[in-house]
Structure 1
């Protein structure tokens, strides 16, 4: 049913594919990080175009496909599509963008 369908972000939403973190090894013992809930790091795979503010001004999204982002521990919806795990949520809940250089001030929305 979903074989020939695609997943697209709407409004100011982002679709993020999580990057798997490594488990800690102590010799031959593998210690998964089950007890510590950490922020997720993922790659943006689709971005909505933006949204209108309360005053009617158009606010475009600033994240782009391919950006590495830090997501909060709660807030984004976990979604499985075609056997892959994704997180879907609004751009304003992204905690940070991981980049080699800081964007120029005119690229920021504020």
Structure 2
């Protein structure tokens, strides 16, 4: 696969219950009018951004079984995350890890640090 600007983030694999978020600009507002003013972001240590990639979820422990006929990937099961790609997430900065990837800033955030999601869906 050839990496292009459109698919460069597809090669990133997010682990477990974590979410990759691209922070929105302080005065960026969604179509429905949701945005965090800069003062709130600085004072409350809360940030917002768009979910770019999600991990598989919370791993469910499986009892040790000797079933050699099963493929290894069949033995690991996950509880999926609520966050989906494209959601606007409001999250606690204290739980986030800031990373730079190809000159852009992103946050890796565990789902437990996400306070709210806005999803653009038909009601």
TM-score by length of 2: 0.60
Q: Note the 1:1-110 alignment, pairs <5 A.
A: 6-22=11-27, 36-53=43-60, 58-99=78-119
Over 3 Å counting, the alpha-carbon distance change for 1:53 and 1:99 in structure 2 is same
Stretches of structure 1 that go unaligned for 5 or more consecutive residues are 23-31, 104-110
1:36 to partner: Cα distance: 3.2
Aligned-pair RMSD on alpha carbons?
3.0
- Cα distance in 2, alignment partners of residues 17 and 47 from structure 1: 12
Deviation of 1:35 after TM superposition, in Å, equals 5.9
- Where 1:36 maps in the other structure, the secondary structure is helix
Post-superposition offset of 1:73: 2.7
The structure with the greater share of residues assigned to strand is 1
Pick the structure with more helix per residue: 2
Aligned residues: 91
Runs of 4+ residues over 3 Å off in structure 1: 3-6, 32-38, 53-58
Q: Is the 8 A contact 1:37 1:73 kept in 2?
A: no
- TM normalised by structure 1 equals 0.66
Moved more, 79-88 or 8-17: 8-17
